[in-house]
C-alpha cells in the first residue's frame, strides 16, 4: 500500500502507472502476434490438409485425389482428426506466445487455460484418436431385402355404455 509520506506515495503511483503501461504494451503485442497465428495440419497419408486460425476455426480444407473412392465416414474422420491435431498445435503455439510476450501473468495464464479447455489433446488415454472410432446403434438392414410393413393395430374405442366418471360432461365447463 501507499506509505504516509506523500513523496513516496507519488513515486509508488508513478511506478504503478509505468508498470501498467508496460503490461498494456505487452498485451497489445500479444494481441497482434495472436492475430497472425495459424496452423496447418496434414493427415498421415496426405489425403487431408486443414488450416485453422488463431481462434481454432477451420479456414482451409484440402482433399487430395486420394480421397476419391474412400469411405465417406473415413474421410470425415480424417478431417476431424486433422482438425483436432491442428487445434492442439495451435494451443501449444498460443501458450508459447503468451509466455514469451507477457510472461507468467494471471491474465496470460487465463488465456492459456482457455485454449487448453477448448482444444484438449486429440488422443484419448488408450492412445486412439476418438474420431476414428466407429459407433453404431443396431444393424443396418439389407437394402435389397423387401421390408414388410408392420400391421397397424386399431386404437381401442370406448364403449358407448361405458361409465367415463365425468358424468357425460366436459371437465372444462362448470
Q: 63: which strand partners?
A: 48
pLDDT per residue as tens digits for the range 122-144: 864 445 544 444 544 555 555 55
Query: Residues 58-70: pLDDT tens digits?
Result: 999 999 999 998 9
Q: What is the predicted pLDDT for the residue at 64? A: 93
Scanning the structure block, which residue is given the C-alpha cell 362448470?
A: 174
62, containing H or E segment: strand 58-63
Model pTM greater than 0.75? no
Phi, psi of 154 (to 5 degrees): -70, 145
Amino acid at each position: 500500500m501507499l506509505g504516509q509520506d506523500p513523496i513516496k506515495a507519488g513515486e509508488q503511483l508513478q511506478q504503478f502507472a509505468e508498470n501498467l503501461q508496460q503490461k498494456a504494451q505487452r498485451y497489445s503485442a500479444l494481441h497482434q502476434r495472436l492475430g497472425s497465428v495459424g496452423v496447418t495440419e496434414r493427415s498421415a497419408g496426405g489425403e487431408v490438409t486443414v488450416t485453422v486460425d488463431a481462434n481454432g476455426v477451420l479456414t482451409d480444407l484440402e482433399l487430395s485425389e486420394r480421397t476419391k473412392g474412400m469411405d465417406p465416414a473415413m474421410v470425415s474422420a480424417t478431417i476431424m482428426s486433422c482438425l483436432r491435431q491442428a487445434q492442439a498445435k495451435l494451443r501449444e503455439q498460443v501458450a508459447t506466445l503468451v509466455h514469451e510476450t507477457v510472461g507468467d501473468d494471471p491474465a496470460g495464464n487465463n488465456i492459456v487455460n482457455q485454449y487448453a479447455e477448448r482444444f484438449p489433446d486429440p488422443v484419448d488415454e488408450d492412445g486412439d484418436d476418438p474420431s476414428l472410432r466407429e459407433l453404431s446403434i443396431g444393424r443396418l438392414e439389407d437394402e435389397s431385402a423387401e421390408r414388410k410393413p408392420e400391421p397397424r393395430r386399431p386404437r381401442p374405442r370406448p364403449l358407448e355404455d361405458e361409465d367415463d366418471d365425468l358424468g357425460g360432461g366436459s371437465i372444462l365447463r362448470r
